[in-house]
Amino acid sequence: MDIKILMICLGNICRSPMAEGIMKAKIKEQKLKWQVDSAGTSSWHAGDKPDKRAIAISKANGVDISDQRSRAFTPADFSEYNVIFVMDESNQRDIVEMALTERQGKRVKLLLEYAEMDMKSVPDPFYGEEKGFQATFDLLNEACEKALLKLKAEYAD
Q: Is 88 annotated as catalytic?
A: no
* Structural domains of the chain ordered from first start: 4-154 (3.40.50.2300)
Instruction: State the pTM of this model.
Output: 0.96
For 108, the 3-state DSSP assignment is: strand
- Choose the catalytic residue: 9, 51, 53, 94: 9
Q: Is 71 annotated as catalytic?
A: no
Q: Is 93 annotated as catalytic?
A: no
Over residues 19-62, the pLDDT tens digits come to 999 999 999 999 999 999 999 999 888 899 999 999 999 999 99
Q: Specify burial of residue 136 (Cβ count, 10 A radius: 0-12, 13-18, 19+).
A: buried
- Choose the catalytic residue: 37, 77, 88, 124: 124
Q: Does residue 157 have a pLDDT over 70? A: no
Output b/e per residue, 69-92; b: 16+ Cβ within 10 A.
Answer: ebbbbeeebbeebbbbbbbbeebb
Helices then strands (H, E): number in the chain? 7, 4
- Choose the catalytic residue: 14, 15, 53, 88: 15
Over residues 98-156, the pLDDT tens digits come to 999 999 999 999 999 999 999 999 999 999 888 899 999 999 999 999 999 999 999 87
